[in-house]
Structure 1
Amino acid sequence: MSTQLSDKLVIAISSRALFNLGDSHRVFEEQGLEAFAAYQIDHENDVLEKGDAFPLVQKFLQINQRLEEPRVEVILLSRNSADTGLRVFNSIEHYGLDITRAAFCNGESPWRYIAPFGCHLFLSSDGSDVRGALERGVAAATLVAGSSHERDDETLRFAFDGDAVIFSDEAEQIFKRDGLAAFAAAERASAQQPLGGGPFKGFLEALQQLQAEFAAESCPIRTALVTARSAPAHERVIRTLRAWNIRIDESVFLGGLPKGEFLRAFGADVFFDDQPAHCASAAEHVATGHVPHGVANEPVS
């Protein structure tokens, strides 16, 4: 087993994102921690059903099979105890997932282990854990319950919203405060000025470094920007990515159209967006992660 993670792209995932723990979580909410622990131990040999992030994780780990040296890793971060987490690891073994590292925190938030593990992305079903990770500079998203589907395509497809996800929310602040016309005018005036980086910039950079290890025609990873922007606000986005030396495989400028059908056409394994309403709509078509960052997620006064 490798003792170094610095040369890998590392995704951390919660047990509730990886597997369907709905029954046991209801026991926890209705009867408390002791009943939850007893339930998990009683069922520790029962294989858990796949969760919303399972197809994503499975495809992600399969990338190692195409490389001479493993370059990706998945870390399990869980609020379970190691004792109750045995059912999770039994299910991991059943499905043949190459996940060997984990932190079980027995009710405490696991985000404090993200930095020591060197994680580039954290996926969870717990919004408070996700916000803790984002506040510490790690790309993170809360998986939204919806209608995710396993896809026959072996290519791993990531889709991202732009503002407040890949980019900062500076332009979105203008839109929220002054409206669409002011936003369009500001973006036209600032077309030559790159946007600031958002919480997913670092993950996108690491993802592109991994893509670069494959020939373009055989790369098992594909990315897409799916944004509500339209012309003329597209120019600043294109010039920003160019300035960052980041390549996005596909860019879709929707001008406010609903994103779901376009995400399904792309075949996204996961889509990241900062706006709760957009996430709820997209989740009807693909696995979706809400990024609770930026002006769209500030409390309404």
Structure 2
Amino acid sequence: MVSTVLNTDVKQKDSEHAVVVAVASRAVFEQGAGGDDGVYAEGMAFPLLQALQKVNKRLLEENSAESLLFDIVLITTDSQQQQQSFHLISSTKHYGLEVSRFCFSTEEDFIENLLQNNVHLFLSTDRHEVSQTSQKGVLSALLDEYTASCPSEQLRVLFCGDAVIRPGTNQTPASRQTAQTFSAQLGKMRQKFGISDSPLSIALMTSCGGRDSCGGALQTLRSLGVSADEAYCLAGAPRGPILSVLRPHFLLSNSFGVLED
């Protein structure tokens, strides 16, 4: 059973041009009953939604008629939160989060929910959910502990260069097309801002190989319309220290699936 509730307090985005980002509600708000005012506590992905919203705000400041905007959808499969949908919706409004739609489904049909809402990118703290959606060709990324410490004033996206130059063998034509479309949209957004003071930052990191591997990954991204603000060639060094400094909201591989540590 799938149901969708529109947020009438938010102006709905242009469905033909908007970039639809679906986030698991359990990642945005802490699970459990709300407080006396019915408001949930902030969760791991709370700064992510604020950063997406910041990009939209700056895009509209540049052009009030801009249609290339992030369209945020909250996806809920948690039966407790479904039963307390009022608290979920009121919490979103309480914090001023510009969520366009609230989608409620069971664990069995949440992928159908994503497809019905034409989701371009799905984000969750549940590794199993991310794996499932990736296998079905839905662009997905895993949110981890780095997400909670990310800045809310700038959206930080990190590409895994190793996967860019060596695509996975299990990547389907549909998932490849979805990945290329999303990267092109992201690249267009970034081009609308200057070099400094941008609300969107794109970085590239290669874990293996040398300078040539990093250069090849940069060229591949540019062919997709993505210009990286920063590039890091680790040449086998641990990724943890760089990730703790970059603090990306999420990591994307060529197929934009789960990246293993």
Q: 1:116–1:97: structure 2 CA closer, same or farther, 3 Å change rule?
A: same
On the 8 A contact 1:226/1:252 being kept in 2, the answer is yes
- Give me the whole-angstrom Cα distance separating, in 1, the residues matched to 2:208 and 2:216: 10
Question: Structure 1 residues 144, 199: closer, same or farther in 2, change over 3 A?
Answer: farther
User: What residue in structure 2 maps to residue 236 of structure 1?
Assistant: 216
**Equivalents in 2 of 1:166, 1:131: separation in Å?**
21
Residue 43 of structure 2 corresponds to 51
Quick one: which amino acid aligns to residue 159 of structure 1? L
| Structure 1 residues 4 and 234: alpha-carbon distance in aligned structure 2, compared to 1, 3 A threshold | closer
Q: CA deviation at 1:109?
A: 4.0
Amino acid at match of 1:224: A
Larger radius of gyration: 1
Letter in 1 for 2:20: V
Cα separation, partners in 2 of 1:129 and 1:206, compared to 1, 3 Å = same
Closer, same or farther in 2 for the Cα pair 1:213/1:258, shift >3 Å?
Answer: same
Judged with a 3 Å threshold, the aligned counterparts in structure 2 of structure 1 residues 125 and 243 are, in CA distance, closer, same or farther, namely: closer
Aligned length: 236
Q: TM-score, normalised by structure 1?
A: 0.67
Structure 1 residue 264: Cα displacement? 3.1
| Structure with more contact order per residue of length (Cα contacts < 8 Å, sep ≥ 6) | 2
For the Cα contact (< 8 Å) 2:52–2:70, is it kept in 1? yes
Match of 2:238 in 1: 258
2:240, 2:23 → 1: CA distance? Answer: 24
CA distances 1:230-279 after superposition (whole Å, capped 9, x unpaired): 324334323323433431221101011112222233342333469xxxxx
**Counterpart in 1 of 2:77?**
79
- Contact 1:164 1:199 (C-alpha < 8 Å) held by counterparts: no
Tell me the SS of whatever aligns to 1:13: strand
Structure 2: distance between partners of 1:119 and 1:166: 26
Q: Please give the residue correspondences for 1:78-117 in structure 2 after superposition, counting only pairs within 5 Å.
A: 78-80=76-78, 82-117=82-117
TM-score (norm: length of structure 2): 0.76
1:197 to 1:238, Cα distance in 2 relative to 1, 3 A? farther
Q: Percent identity?
A: 27
> Corresponding residue for 2:55?
63
Cα offset, 1:108, TM superposition: 3.8
C-alpha contact (below 8 Å) 1:109/1:129 kept by paired residues: no
1:108-160 per-position Cα deviation (integer Å, ceiling 9, x unaligned): 442212223222110113333222321232220232346831537x2221112
Distance 1:44 1:203, change over 3 A: farther
Is residue 29 of structure 2 the alignment partner of residue 19 of structure 1? Answer: yes
C-alpha displacement at 1:225, in angstroms?
0.9
Aligned to 1:144: 144
Using the TM superposition, name which of 158-167 and 215-224 deviates more.
158-167
Structure 1 residues 166 and 222, CA gap change in structure 2 (3 angstroms) = farther
Pairwise mapping of residues 120-269 of structure 1 onto structure 2 (< 5 A)?
120-145=120-145, 148-151=148-151, 154-164=153-163, 168-169=167-168, 200-231=179-210, 232-269=212-249
* Matched position secondary structure for 1:100: strand
Q: How many angstroms apart in 2 are the aligned matches of 1:94 and 1:56?
A: 17
Using the alignment, how far apart are the partners of 2:28 and 2:161 within structure 1? Answer: 26
8 Å Cα contact 2:54/2:154 also seen in 1: no
Q: Which runs of 5+ in 1 are unaligned?
A: 25-39, 171-195, 275-289
Structure 1 residues 55, 241: closer, same or farther in 2, change over 3 A?
same
The answer to whether the Cα contact below 8 Å between 1:44 and 1:87 also exists between their aligned partners in 2 is: no
